[in-house]
């Protein structure tokens, strides 16, 4: 089981170039944009806790969230800028559809798993 999860986590990490650089890949709704990352890295931090790369990858993902996909609301709380985010595959620039999808929904919690 451990080896299977490790293969999954490595395969995801070394997949699209944006995952290796930012922890997220395609532009999609928050539930699906965060699947690859939230299902592969956090379990490895627990299973293989002596291997530092898993925690480092989670920290990179948390940094990406903070810098590109979260902002403070009028009350000063952090929230997602949109329920739709990711990276443009051609430019590798972050994209959050703030203009037309300024939602923070319960499924956003899945995207936070690498930061926990």
Give tens-digit pLDDT for 53-90: 999 999 988 888 888 888 888 899 988 888 777 777 77
pLDDT at residue 18 in the model: 63
Which pLDDT value is given to residue 50?
94
> Rounded distance, CA 41 to CA 76, Å?
29
The domain locations on the chain are 2-115
Distances (CA, A) of 13 to 2, 3, 72, 76, 78: 16, 15, 29, 33, 27
């Amino acid at each position: 089981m451990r080896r299977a999860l490790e293969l999954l986590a490595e395969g995801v990490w070394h997949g699209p170039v944006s995952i290796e650089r930012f922890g997220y890949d395609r532009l999609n709704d928050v539930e699906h944009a965060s699947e690859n990352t939230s299902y592969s890295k956090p379990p490895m931090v627990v299973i293989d806790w002596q291997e530092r790369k898993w925690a480092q990858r989670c920290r990179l993902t948390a940094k990406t969230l903070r810098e590109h996909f979260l902002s403070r609301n009028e009350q000063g709380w952090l929230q997602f800028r949109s329920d739709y985010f990711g990276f443009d595959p051609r430019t590798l620039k972050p994209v959050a559809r703030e203009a037309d999808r300024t939602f923070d929904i319960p499924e956003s919690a899945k995207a936070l798993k690498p930061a926990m």
